[in-house]
Amino acid sequence: MKIENPIAFSFIMPDELYLLNKDKTPVAAYKEPLPVTETKPDNFNFMGGNKKNFLVIVHYPEFEFIDDKHLTALESILKRLNFSMDDTAIFNIAQYAGTTMKQLTDFFKPQKLLLLGQQALPVDTGPIALNKIHRSNNYPALFSFSFDEMMENNENKKAFWEQMKQL
């Protein structure tokens, strides 16, 4: 049957349409949606303002941040390089065992990185040369002696200072 007027079609066909059993597709069983889990960003306690994204990672299990004598030395070094405590973030990794470099870089977004001592290295840090500046994610990074290793050894101080001037 050929219908030329569409309005006439509505008189011939009712508004209700029915499917035959063979044309029906089974309705999928309703599944409860999985709960949305939000991953909270890591929140680290640190000293300084981190305004110039200069991250200094230390390891002091007995202190919240850093030994006062070592802090004085670090502030003096930073001042010589035209940085202040407001420009840096001093992070004591001893307070956050198991922290990865990815977690730290995601949180601090460093433009410069200083790692003071073997124990200050995050768990996922591969082999890294001592007192050699290397590029890590497009920013300079220096792994050097801890202050305990430098305080009594002038050679360690000199090696550290030579690299710090280039960082």
- pTM value is 0.72
Q: What is the pLDDT of residue 166?
A: 85
User: In the predicted model, is pLDDT for residue 70 greater than 80?
Assistant: yes
Question: For 27-65, what is each residue's pLDDT tens digit?
Answer: 555 566 656 544 444 688 999 999 999 999 999 999 999
Q: What is the pLDDT of residue 91?
A: 95
Distance of CA 52 to the CA centre of its chain: 16
Give me the mean pLDDT over the 60-87 stretch.
Answer: 92
Q: What is the pLDDT of residue 112?
A: 93
Rounded to 5°, the CA angle 129-57-113 comes to 60
Q: Is 164 exposed, middle or buried (0-12, 13-18, 19+ CB in 10 A)?
A: middle
User: In the predicted model, is pLDDT for residue 103 greater than 50?
Assistant: yes
Structure tokens at 86: 């407001």
More confident residue, 22 or 37: 22
The DSSP line for 78-143 is HHHTT--TTTEEEEEGGGSTT--HHHHHHHH--SEEEEESGGGS-TT-----TT-EEEETTEEEEE
For residue 151, report the phi and psi dihedrals to the nearest 5 degrees: -60, -35
Give me the mean pLDDT over the 22-30 stretch.
Answer: 63
CATH class of the domain comprising 54-164: alpha beta
100-114 in b/e form (b: 16+ CB < 10 A) is ebebbbebbebebbb
Is-contact 121 134, C-beta < 8 A? Answer: no
Question: For 116-166, what is each residue's pLDDT tens digit?
Answer: 999 998 888 877 888 898 887 788 999 999 998 988 889 988 888 888 888
Q: What is the pLDDT of residue 8?
A: 65
Is-contact 12 2, C-beta < 8 A? Answer: no
Q: What is the pLDDT of residue 38?
A: 43
Give the position of tokens 């001042």. Answer: 79
